[in-house]
Amino acid sequence: MYDELRHSVCGANLLLVKYKLVTFTWGNVSGIDREEGIIIIKPSGVAYEQLTPEKMVVLDLDGETIEGELRPSSDTATHLELYRSFKSIGGICHTHSPKATMWAQAQSGIPCFGTTHADHFYGTVPVTEIMTMEEIDNDYELNTGRVIVRRLEGMDPVQMPAVLVANHGPFTWGRDAITAVENAVVLEQIAETALGTITIKPEQNAITQALLDKHYLRKHGKDAYYGQK
């Protein structure tokens, strides 16, 4: 069952390899079918070369396995928390891609230094707070989801489809699993250019609100005019 979603989530996981976002098995992508009340996610620690739609794990929103013989990704509880809180998203991606991870490890958000960023993320890509010892010791993966949700408070997750988990790495999302991966690709590139930008000019400011609005809205607003309708 859930053949179409199995295929698209499996394909999205394989895109991580194509876009060079992962080393070994360090990444996972999931997708949700809200009508059916299930998510599909990569099995834990399985090599991408061996991934097939059949091996994907189907879970309900409480994390109970419905179909699949393999254990789901160890980050499943994080994905579930995000799906429960961000009703508008359909796919989630987590990687340890190097450039985004540099900013996460520096506990620093990525300022919007240019239009490449503004085309995809509506402002600074936020970084979560450091997790407390209590949050780490019990229900760590669930609490990872919670610190993300807390950090996104007041933002529209559609307009800000990325976060950096402090000391860890990026999570991205989107309307489906493939879009979540594409946002991870964009995030990696803007993380790289932002690093170069502050190397050239450490005190560089973010772009103006006018330019941010222009670029974000020409691609995403109701009057968007980028691409073929």
User: Residues interacting with a second copy, by CB under 8 A?
Assistant: 23-26, 43-46, 70-71, 74, 96, 98-99, 101-108, 113-116, 130-131, 133, 136-137, 140, 167-169, 182, 185-186, 189, 192-201, 204, 207-208, 210-211, 214, 218, 225-229
Considering the complex, state which of residue 32 and residue 113 has its C-beta at the smaller distance from a second copy.
Answer: 113
What's the min distance (Å) between Cβ of 97 and a second copy?
Answer: 9
Considering the complex, state which of residue 36 and residue 129 has its C-beta at the smaller distance from a second copy.
Answer: 129
Q: What does the chain look like in DSSP terms, one character per residue?
A: --HHHHHHHHHHHHHHHHTT--STT-EEEEEEETTTTEEEEPBTT--GGG--GGGSEEEETTS-EEE-SSPB-TTHHHHHHHHHH-TT--EEEEE--HHHHHHHHTT--B---SHHHHTTSSSPBPBPPPPPHHHHHSSHHHHHHHHHHHHHTTS-TTT--EEEETTTEEEEEESSHHHHHHHHHHHHHHHHHHHHHHHH-TTPPPPPHHHHHHHHHHHHSTT--SS--
What's the min distance (Å) between Cβ of 39 and a second copy?
Answer: 19
119 assigned to active site: yes
What's the min distance (Å) between Cβ of 35 and a second copy?
Answer: 29
| Catalytic residue (choose from 119, 137, 216, 223) | 119
122 assigned to active site: no
Which residues are annotated as catalytic? Answer: 119, 226
